[in-house]
Chains A and B, each alone.
Chain A
Amino acid sequence: EIVLTQSPATLSLSPGERATLSCRASEYLTNYLAWYQQKPGQPPRLLIYDAFKRASGTPSRFSGSGSGTEYTLTISSLEPEDFAVYYCQQRANWPRLTFGGGTKVEIK
């Protein structure tokens, strides 16, 4: 099983600030990584796939980067609606998909 470790667990920031979220994998992912946003009481929403490609409807302030075992989701300037939990997901070991433990972006 590929283990994904997200850091930090919680990120306390103000609107307008830049958010940098990390996802580290136990094995090489060949960029087969996605990022999801989840708000309370809602299902996850796909933001980024294949490490850096924006899903339909994802605002341009969201960007993905990285390679190998280290990946990053950056939110260039936080909007009020961006405060949520973010998960990374790998498909390199399909069908045994795994998620990271999540990073909560909260209002400072």
Chain B
Amino acid sequence: EVQVLESGGGLVQPGESLTLSCAVSGFPFINFAITWFRQPPGKGLEWVSTVSATGTKTYHADSVQGRFTVSKDTSKNTVDLQMKSLRVEDTAVYYCARDDGLSYFDFWGPGTLVTVSS
């Protein structure tokens, strides 16, 4: 059974840092890219970052470029999202999801809430 689970969310102040983690199981981790999305409360979905299947290539949305870093640990089956210089507008539920190979997303975690507020 495929399982995806995010952790690490919480309340931080503007300018602070936070690292989210996505733990996956039930499929060959090295064969699938993983993507982070976010959803501000009551709003729509936004692509944040993608790490390739092997972990050698990463991509970030312009809104987080230079502040967020995504990485894949194939020995632990985890994907981390390091977030620095957090802003109020980064407040959202953050989801990680498995790329099915066609850049659609067939398995999602339940999400973790990040709140940036003073």
Interface residues of A (CB under 8 A from B): 32, 34, 36, 42-46, 49-50, 55-56, 87, 89, 91, 94-102
Contact = CB atoms under 8 A, between A and B. Distances in A.
A50 B102 contact: yes
Of A32, A34, A36, A97, most B-chain CB atoms within 10 Å: A97
B59 A95 contact: yes
Given A43-B95, A43-B111, A49 B102 contact: yes
A96 B47 contact: yes
Given A95-B50, A95-B59, A96-B61, A44 B44 contact: no
B105 A44 contact: yes
Of B35, B46, B100, B103, most A-chain CB atoms within 10 Å: B103
23 contacts: A36-B105, A43-B97, A43-B109, A43-B110, A44-B45, A46-B100, A46-B104, A46-B105, A49-B100, A49-B102, A49-B104, A87-B45, A89-B104, A91-B103, A91-B104, A96-B47, A96-B61, A97-B47, A97-B103, A98-B47, A99-B46, A100-B44, A102-B44
Contacts of B50: 95
B106 interface: yes
